[in-house]
C-alpha cells in the first residue's frame, strides 16, 4: 500500500515494471512509422493546404483551444474547415457539425469548435482521407483544412504539422505507454514543422524559454513557440449570460471537470476563489449520467443556500446541455469557464507568418 510521502517512489516502481510492455509497444510503433517512411504504407496528399494539430502524449495539451486560436489567425484570409475524429461520439462515419447538435452525436470538442466559429465548417469522420474528400467534393469547398488530433493518423500527409506539448508535461520528459503517457517515441517530434509549448506561465522568463528550446532541441526546419491559457469569464448555462470573475468573489465552488489534465484550471480557480473549492474530476470526454448529477448535487448541497456555484469547462458544458432539462439540475447556478489559448506576442507573429507562407506556397504549388 502506498502512502502520500512515498507515492512518487511507488509510481516510479510501477513505471519500471511496465517498461517491458512499453518496449513492445514502442517496437510496434517504430515498425508502423518505418512502413510509412519507406512508402510501403501510403500517405495521401491533397491539392489543398492541410494543417495537422497533434501531440505525442495522451491528452492534456490543449489541442481544441489551439485549433480555435489558429482559426482566429486564419479569419478573413481563407475559407477553412476543421475535420476531427469526433472522439466519444455515439454516431459513426461522416457527419457535419451543426450548432444545434447534441455532443453525443458529434463529440464535445468538434461541437465547441463549431459554437466558437459558427461560420466555419466542422465535420467528423474516423477515416480522415475520406473526410477530406467529402469536404472537397461539397459545394462549399474549403481552401484550408485543419485536422484535429491527427499526428498519429499518417494516412494523410499534412503540409504543416503543429506538435503541442504542455509546459508541465513535456514529451521530452515522458515515456512510452504504458510506462508513461507517450503515444509515439520522442524522436517522432522530428516530423513536426512547429512545436508549440502550451499552458505556460503567463509571465514566462526569457531564460526559461531558452532552456526549454534547448531541451526540445529543434531541427533546422522547426520553430518552437509558446502559449498560455486564459479564462476571461463565465457563461451561465441557464440563460447564456456572460459574467466576470466577480460573480464568484463571495462564493464557494464545486468544480466539475472531464479533462485529461485539469491541474492548470484547478490552480486558477483556487487562486480566484477566496472560499472552499471542491473538485469533482471525471475522465476525459466523460459522458455524464444521472448518478454523476446526483454526485454534483450532493457536493453543492453541502454548502448553505446561495453560498456556492458550480463551475465546469466549456468542453464539459457540451455534455451538460441536455441535462439542463432536468428539474433538479436546471435550477442550480452552473457556469461554463471561458477558455482561451493566448499566444505570446512574438510567437503569434511567428505562427501567423508561418501559416501565411505555408498557405501561399501550397496554393502556388497546387
Cα dihedral sign, 161-166-170-176: negative
HSE at residue 329, side-chain half, CA atoms within 13 A, is 19
Indicate the range of 14-23, 57-66, 265-274, 296-305 predicted with least confidence: 14-23
Q: Is 310 exposed, middle or buried (0-12, 13-18, 19+ CB in 10 A)?
A: buried
Contact criterion met (CB below 8 Å) for 258 and 284: yes
Q: Which three cell numbers stand for residue 291?
A: 448518478
* Other CB atoms within 10 Å distance of the CB of residue 258: 24
What is the Cα–Cα distance from 182 to 55, expressed in whole angstroms?
9
Q: How far apart are CA 304 and CA 74, in angstroms?
A: 47
Give me the domains of the chain, ranges plus CATH numbers: 50-229+342-365 (3.40.50.300), 234-338 (3.40.50)
**Grid coordinates standing for 285?**
470526454
Q: Where are the beta strands (DSSP E) in 283-330?
A: 308-313
The 10s digit of each residue's pLDDT in 24-36 is 999 999 999 999 9
pLDDT in tens, 134-178: 999 988 899 999 999 999 999 999 999 999 999 999 999 999 999
**Cβ–Cβ under 8 Å, residues 166 and 5:** no
pLDDT in tens, 337-356: 999 999 999 999 999 999 99
Kindly report the pTM of this predicted structure: 0.92
Amino acid at each position: 500500500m502506498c502512502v502520500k510521502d512515498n507515492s512518487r517512489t511507488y509510481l516510479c516502481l510501477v513505471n519500471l515494471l511496465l517498461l517491458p510492455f512499453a518496449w513492445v509497444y514502442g517496437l510496434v510503433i517504430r515498425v508502423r512509422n518505418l512502413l510509412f517512411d519507406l512508402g510501403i504504407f501510403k500517405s495521401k496528399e491533397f491539392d489543398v493546404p492541410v494543417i495537422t494539430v497533434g501531440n505525442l502524449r495522451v491528452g492534456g495539451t490543449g489541442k481544441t483551444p489551439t485549433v480555435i486560436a489558429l482559426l482566429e489567425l486564419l479569419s478573413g484570409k481563407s475559407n477553412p474547415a476543421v475535420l476531427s475524429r469526433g472522439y466519444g461520439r455515439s454516431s459513426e462515419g461522416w457527419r457535419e457539425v451543426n450548432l444545434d447538435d447534441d455532443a453525443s452525436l458529434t463529440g464535445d470538442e468538434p461541437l465547441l469548435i463549431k459554437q466558437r466559429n459558427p461560420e466555419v465548417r466542422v465535420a467528423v469522420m474516423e477515416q480522415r482521407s475520406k473526410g477530406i474528400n467529402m469536404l472537397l467534393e461539397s459545394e462549399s469547398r474549403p481552401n484550408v483544412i485543419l485536422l484535429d488530433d491527427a499526428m498519429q493518423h499518417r494516412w494523410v500527409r499534412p503540409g504543416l504539422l503543429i506538435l503541442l506539448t504542455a509546459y508541465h508535461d513535456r514529451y521530452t520528459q515522458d515515456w512510452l505507454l504504458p510506462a508513461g503517457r507517450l503515444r509515439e517515441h520522442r524522436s517522432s517530434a522530428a516530423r513536426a514543422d512547429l512545436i508549440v509549448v502550451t499552458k505556460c506561465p503567463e509571465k514566462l522568463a526569457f531564460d526559461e524559454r531558452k532552456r526549454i528550446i534547448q531541451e526540445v532541441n529543434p531541427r533546422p526546419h522547426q520553430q518552437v513557440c509558446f502559449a498560455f491559457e486564459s479564462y476571461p469569464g463565465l457563461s451561465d448555462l441557464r440563460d447564456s449570460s456572460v459574467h466576470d470573475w466577480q460573480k464568484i468573489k463571495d462564493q464557494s465552488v464545486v468544480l466539475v471537470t472531464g479533462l485529461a489534465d485539469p491541474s492548470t484550471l484547478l490552480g486558477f480557480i483556487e487562486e480566484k476563489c477566496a472560499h472552499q473549492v471542491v473538485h469533482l474530476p471525471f475522465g476525459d470526454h466523460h459522458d455524464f449520467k444521472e448518478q454523476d448529477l446526483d454526485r454534483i448535487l450532493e457536493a453543492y448541497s453541502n454548502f448553505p443556500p446561495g453560498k456556492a456555484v458550480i463551475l465546469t469547462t466549456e468542453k464539459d458544458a457540451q455534455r451538460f446541455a441536455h441535462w439542463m432539462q432536468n428539474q433538479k439540475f436546471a435550477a442550480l447556478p452552473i457556469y461554463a469557464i471561458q477558455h482561451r489559448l493566448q499566444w505570446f506576442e512574438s510567437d503569434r507573429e511567428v505562427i501567423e507568418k508561418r501559416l501565411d507562407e505555408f498557405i501561399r506556397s501550397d496554393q502556388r504549388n497546387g
